[in-house]
Structures are given as C-alpha cells and as structure tokens.
Homo-oligomer: A and B are copies of this chain.
Amino acid sequence: MLQIWALAGIAEIRTGDDLVQVIADAAAGALADGDILVVTSKIVSKAEGRIIEASDREAAITAETVRTVATRTSESGHVTRIVENRLGIVSAAAGVDASNTPHGTVLLLPEDPDASARAIAAGLRELLGVRVGVIVSDTLGRAWREGQTDTAIGAGGVRVFEDLRGKSDAEGRPLVVTMPCTADELASAADLVKGKASRLPVAVVRGRADLVGDVDLPGARSIVRPAERDMFRLGADEAYDLGYAAGAEEVWHEGGRSGS
C-alpha cells in the first residue's frame, strides 16, 4: 500500500527561509523512516532567492540555456523555445517560471537541485531523526504527448531508478532494457495530491522505503540522457535545416550538375 498526502499549512516561501524547518513544522511529527518527500522546485527556488525581475525573463532564459533544441513560432507570434539548460534538462523556457511568483518577477530553477534535495534530506534526518528521501520536482512537457507531468530534477537519499537489468521476468527471461525511472514516477504520483492552483508544494509518499538510501546516492542529474546519445537532441525542423545547409554546401563545392 502506497500512501501519498500533501503537507498543509506551508505559507508563502521567501528568500532565506529554512525549508528543513518549514517542512518539519508542516509535517508535525508525522514523518517516518522510509518516507519520501516530493518538494516543488518553485519553493526551493524561492528559498534560495532565485527570483528576478520579469522584464529580464528573455535574458534569463538565454542565460540558463546551454543549447537550443527547438523553437516554434505560433500563429499569434508567440515563440516557444525548447532548450537544454545548464542542468541538462530539456524543457520549455529553461524552467524560467512566471506562475505563482510575486507580481513582476519570475523564478529560475534552483542552482543545483540535487544539492538542494540532499541538503533537505540531510537536514530532516538530523532534525527529526527519521531516514527520509527528498525529490525536487518540476512540471515538464514531453515529446509526442500533450500535457505535462511532474518529474524529478533533484534527488537526495532516493534511488532514482529501479534497476531491473539483470533481473528476470516471471518466465525467467532477463528484463534487459527495463529501468523504471522511479524518481519521475514518484514526482508524478505526488502531483496528484499537490495541485497547481493551490499552495501545497510538498507531498509525502509512504510505502517505498526500499528506494530510500544514503543521502549521496546518484541524483536526478543521472536521469538526464546526454545529448550525444539522444535520438531527439534536436527538433526535426532544426535538424532538417542543418542537413539542408550541409547538403547544399557539399554539392555547391562539387559544382553541382554542371560540375559532374
């Protein structure tokens, strides 16, 4: 049996707030060994002061961007930029977020969400004496499917994959390619109780204590597939355009039909 609930009573988070204390107060003694806390990245960003003037939004997206993956301009002229950010995460607008922020401001993602998750996990373990894991979650779009799901962008003290490679199915055959991303599944499960319009930024997942381990287990950074191994490292239009230019260049230098 898995139980998931949101912590009530967490007020607006401000720069410098101690999230370990905030979460401990909201949990009010209800946390137990093996619980996994799923913390919305937005409150981590706020506590860390990752807040800037909204007028700097486009510049902030550019600053957070390592590589543009795809762009699309809608009929109304709105430009969507899908980019890889400095954490390796591919998302719209590099995670720069204008919802649920003070008027006139936008939020950047936490500087290092794995470090944030580890610090919260270590802090709660020390303060409360319970061995909990922490996931920092963000809402991401996907290729091929409409809508968004919450995913793990930081993890501390939680195994992010359930590694079944080497295990066997019920017929004894190896489950060679199966590696469920439990961290993303936990983040998605937690979103079902947190909601977007309400202020419920922290959920507790109880029932998968087997996934909780040392605070310095590999973080959510290990979920990111390096671009060079990714079949979708570029948007189709962007890759087509690069290919077109290369093909044209090649034949141009060969002299084209008249040069053959």
Q: Which residues of B contact A58 (CB under 8 A)?
A: none
Q: Write the nearest CB–CB distance from A87 to chain B, whole angstroms.
A: 12
Contact present for A149 and B4 (CB under 8 Å):
no
Q: Which residues of B contact A244 (CB under 8 A)?
A: 243-244, 246-247, 250
Contact residue among B149, B180, B207, B232 (Cβ-Cβ distance under 8 Å from A236):
B232
Q: A169-B99, A197-B164 are in contact. Are A179 and B258 (CB under 8 A)?
A: no
Considering the complex, which residues of chain A in the window 198-218 have a beta carbon less than 8 Å from any beta carbon of chain B?
A: 198-199, 205, 207-208
Q: Which secondary structure dominates where chain A touches chain B?
A: mixed
Contact present for A139 and B178 (CB under 8 Å):
yes
Q: Which residues of B contact A86 (CB under 8 A)?
A: none
Interface check A49, CB cutoff 8 A:
no
Q: Which residues of B contact A150 (CB under 8 A)?
A: 180, 185
Q: Which 5 pairs across A and B sit closest by C-beta, in order of nearness?
A: A256-B256, A243-B243, A247-B247, A147-B181, A189-B189
